[in-house]
Amino acid sequence: MSKHFHTPKIVQGPQRWKLALVLLALLGFLAAGAWYGYRFGKGDFGGEALFSNQQQELQAELVKEMEVETKQLRTEVAKLERAAQVDAEAATELRLQLLGLEQENEQLKEDLAFYRSIVSPEDEDAGMQIQNFRLTALEEPRRFQYEIVLTQPLQYQRFVRGDTWFTVQGTEAGERKTLEMKDISMEQDKLHEFRFKFFQNFTGTIELPEGFEPSTVVVTAEPNGKNLTTRTREFPWPGRG
């Protein structure tokens, strides 16, 4: 989704057009990045077309362009601040917009790595993989939203089914302790049942008990069927990696 920013207030008129061009280019790249992320994430292109080499190249090119734009914007911000041509409020808005651009860029890089893991994985015989596990802190203390992302290389062309779950390792009162997903899930989920051809993600909310200090999340994905390998992957708790 595209983000909306307010145009900063410029103190000296002669420099107004320069900053306007910078912000216009910034907003254009943010809108383009959000559009690509939305279309790719939602699978609007459908089937194998979702993972075409051309789309990978477009995604990679957009990442490069946004990196160049980020560098140029950094230079412009520093120049305008040193020249005292932007007041404190405008300078703050510029920093916020720069932060937004950098966040969009990081998301595009993550998306590109995700699609490459499906189209051209490093290990083509890897089969189903645990691609990622994300955690986002919520407003309520000790509550977090999680997301599990599972993938399978494009070449397999078959559905894979099974169960996935996770545990949280850490310490409590100086002793090592492991929390099961079913014990901390706000939805009381014991596991998630998956069925997908290329990728699938699961989300939910967990709440950690008072006194527990998390360190690692261990995600397990167990496919149904013979000769299929159970996958396990560890992720450091945010701020611990």
pLDDT of residue 13: 46
Q: Which residues pair with 214 in a beta bridge?
A: 170
**Residue, of 43 and 99, whose pLDDT is higher:** 99
d(CA 203, CA 111): 17
Task: Quote the DSSP letter at residue 231.
Answer: E
Beta-carbon neighbour count of residue 57 at 10 Å? Answer: 10
Task: Quote the DSSP letter at residue 145.
Answer: E
Beta-carbon neighbour count of residue 47 at 10 Å? Answer: 10
Mean per-residue pLDDT for 15-22?
53
Helix (H, G, I), strand (E, B) or coil at 203: strand
pLDDT of residue 176: 96
Residues 111-156 pLDDT 10s: 666 666 666 566 555 688 898 999 999 999 999 999 999 988 877 7
Which residues, 6 or more positions from 227, have their beta carbon under 8 angstroms from its beta carbon?
A: none
Residues 55-75 pLDDT 10s: 666 667 777 777 787 788 878
pLDDT of residue 64: 77
| pLDDT range class, residue 3, cuts 50, 70, 90 | very low
Residues 200-240 pLDDT 10s: 999 999 999 999 999 999 999 999 988 888 999 999 998 76
Average pLDDT score, the chain: 76
- CA-nearest of 43, 45, 41 to 33 is 41
